[in-house]
Amino acid sequence: MIANTPHPPYYAVIFSSIRSQNVEGYSEVNALMNQLVFKQDGFLGMEAVQSELGVTISYWRDLESIKRWKENLDHQDAQIKGRKTWYSHYKVRIAKVERDYAFTT
């Protein structure tokens, strides 16, 4: 689903990743993170697509809410497991959405 975000400005965190071969424990932690992130103050929506490359974009009200989510203890634990186990490479980009427009049939 395309995230139903409010009028700009708001923030996007673009997480682009290449997985390792090791998926041990991934599904459980990913499901938990999805549950938790939706409860975060300032969270506006998410878009996630996975093929060889994974791209997850989460949308946020402001930099403070992004920072709080990054520092969430369960999320920190998941980040450590991610670097140890599930990802061979990733890049995180924090971007301010200045403008958006939509098309629908």
Q: How far is the CB of 74 from a second copy (least distance, A)?
A: 19
- CA Rg, the chain, in Å? 14
| Least Å from the CB of residue 93 to a second copy | 4
Q: In the complex, what is the shortest distance from the CB of residue 100 to a second copy, in angstroms, rounded to a whole number?
A: 4
* Distance of alpha carbon 57 from alpha carbon 104, whole angstroms: 21
Beta strands across the sheet bearing 10-19: 10-19, 53-60, 43-50
Q: Which residue has the tokens 């949308």?
A: 59
Position 30 contacts a second copy (CB under 8 A): no
Told to check if 7 binds a second copy by CB under 8 A, we report: no
Asked if 54 touches a second copy (CB under 8 A), the answer is: yes
Candidates 27, 37, 50, 77; binder of a second copy (CB under 8 A) is: 50
| Residues whose CB falls within 8 Å of the CB of residue 100, separated by 6 or more in sequence, listed in order | 5, 8
Out of 7, 28, 71, 99, the only residue in the binding site for a second copy (CB under 8 A) is 99
